[in-house]
Amino acid sequence: MKTSKLPENPEEIGAFYKARFQEQQAFPSDAVFTALFEKIDQTENNISLDSKKKLNFFLHPKAFRFAASISSIVITSALVLAGSLAVVTVVYDHSFQPQKQEIKVLNNEQQTLEETKKTNKVAKVKAVEPEIETPKTKEEIIEVKKEIESIKETEKVVTPISSSTPEKLVEPKPTKEVVPVKGDNKHVLDEIQEEELFKK
């Protein structure tokens, strides 16, 4: 479509160009067609070659062996890794767990609080009274009494007599006051002994 006069009104310009451009065709050179289909052929060949190569690779026995060795390596590595991880976790749990902030010790323990602190690696040690379980039922009370009795008896037998603390239970009670025998009073002692024998 040839044009002799161009529109000078801006409002008409759009329609003017649209009418002349819409159905317009331009022909590219044949080189474009050739290059395009060469590229397509090349791409198609590459795709088929790639798929053939992949297929051949997986059909080959060497490929199987290779795949098997690779998978065994991978599995072994995974197992080793899992084992190491487990060991590390256990060691961490036992060694590197955060210290306890506070522990409680019985008030009657010999160890001082400071020593306990050092021994147990804790920040704070709290002394507490020992908890005594009080018997509740009648049977329990009887049992406890029996236990106490048995302990008392055991103590009587086992407890050694200390030189510093005389045992009262063992000490005999004198029936009569004994007067120390001295030279001049010997006859008095003889009389007492005679009296005793007589009584018997």
Partner 1 sequence: MKLLVDDTILIEGVKNRERAAMEALYRQFAPVLFSILLRYIKLRADAEDLLQETFLKIFANIHQFNNEGSFEGWLKRIAVNMALNHIQANKRKLEDREWIDEKHANMLVSKFKTSQELEYEDLQKLIQLLPEQKRLIFTLYDIEGFKHAEIAEMLKITEAGCRSQLAKAREMLAHLHKQINQIKSPSPIGEGFRERLN
Closest-CA residue to 125 (of 113, 133, 115): 113
Nearer to partner 1, 13 or 67 (CB): 13
Crossing angle between the packed helical segments 30-59 and 61-95, to the nearest 10 degrees: 70
| By CB under 8 A, residue 186 contacts partner 1 | no
**Footprint (CB under 8 A) of partner 1, residues 41-70:** 44
Within positions 1 to 30, which residues make up the interface with partner 1, using CB under 8 A?
1-11, 13-15, 17-18, 20-22, 24-29
- Euclidean distance between CA atoms 111 and 103, whole angstroms: 14
Torsion of CA 103, 109, 111, 115, to 10 degrees: 10
- Which helix (H) or strand (E) element contains residue 106? strand 102-106
Return the number of the residue (15 or 86) whose C-beta is nearest partner 1. 15
Read off the amino acid at residue 141. I
Nearer to partner 1, 29 or 108 (CB): 29
Instruction: Output the furthest CA–CA distance in the chain (Å, rounded).
Output: 181
Q: Does residue 33 bind partner 1 (CB under 8 A)?
A: yes
179 belongs to the binding site for partner 1 (CB under 8 A): no
In the shown chain, the binding pattern of residues 74 to 93 toward partner 1, with x for contact by CB under 8 A and - for none, equals --------------------
Residue with tokens 């030189």: 163
Which residues of the chain form contacts with partner 1 (CB under 8 A)?
1-11, 13-15, 17-18, 20-22, 24-29, 31-33, 35-37, 39-40, 44
